[in-house]
Chain A
Amino acid sequence: AQSVTQLDSHVSVSEGTPVLLRCNYSSSYSPSLFWYVQHPNKGLQLLLKYTSAATLVKGINGFEAEFKKSETSFHLTKPSAHMSDAAEYFCVVSVTTNAGGTSYGKLTFGQGTILTVHP
């Protein structure tokens, strides 16, 4: 079984200060990991993904995340927050499992972290 825990339901930062959104995962197999962002009443947009290549992954809008297998973590960071970063962020894990002989990928979503950016 796989699971994702986002350690903070809300994070508040000032504009121009660093952002850290924490994510721990549990998986019996080698996972792929994703971070998505969702602005109010919108769909989800992919920020970045890890699929067993480089452990430090760079994404859009200056975000990056580091896959740490020993800590089962995939924390999202950004050096300097911008007002437009205010949104909800989801950490997602995907593993390949088998159902009826067919391998497939299933996404498991974290509960989300709401990021507030103060001027």
Chain B
Amino acid sequence: DGGITQSPKYLFRKEGQNVTLSCEQNLNHDAMYWYRQDPGQGLRLIYYSQIVNDFQKGDIAEGYSVSREKKESFPLTVTSAQKNPTAFYLCASSKEWGRTYEQYFGPGTRLTVT
């Protein structure tokens, strides 16, 4: 079955540590995205990638980094510079980059930093 996988489902880290969240898709989609979800705030865009080897900052990129070395993979690193890293992180992809293309979401990773 085609889809998006995110691992792990739950992640716990100590403050000051960097952590990398995995996102893999087998939909052959060009565009990929990372969102952060906090209670009552909808989803906010962290980074997006229109195509392999390219990525752009979203609305809340500070304290995060990404890479897009392969079409199917778009890992997100939460660095120690991110002030409030505890959140639910969602990865998504779309066939192409444009307003008419719906995004397909992975199951999410819940990160807790103490």
Contacts and interface: CB of A to CB of B under 8 A. Distances in A.
B42 A112 contact: yes
Contacts, number: 60
In this complex, the interface size class of chain B, counting residues with CB under 8 Å from chain A, is 20 to 34
Interface in A72-119: 90, 94-96, 99, 102-107, 109-112
Could you tell me the dominant secondary structure of chain A's interface residues? strand
B43 A32 contact: no
A45 B105 contact: yes
B43 A42 contact: no
Interface of A: 9, 31-32, 34, 36, 41-46, 49, 51, 90, 94-96, 99, 102-107, 109-112
A43 B42 contact: no
A36 B43 CA distance: 12
A51 B97 CA distance: 14
Interface string B41-67: 111110000100000100000000000
Given A43-B108, A44-B105, A46-B104, A96 B98 contact: yes
A49 B4 CA distance: 20
B40 A107 contact: no
Given A42-B108, A111-B40, A103 B90 contact: no
B30 to A, nearest CB: 12
Interface of B: 4, 6, 40-45, 50, 56, 88, 90, 92, 97-108, 110
A43 B105 contact: yes
B42 A110 contact: yes
A66 to B, nearest CB: 18
Contact of B45 (A34, A36, A46, A106): A106
B41 A49 contact: no
A112 B4 CA distance: 23
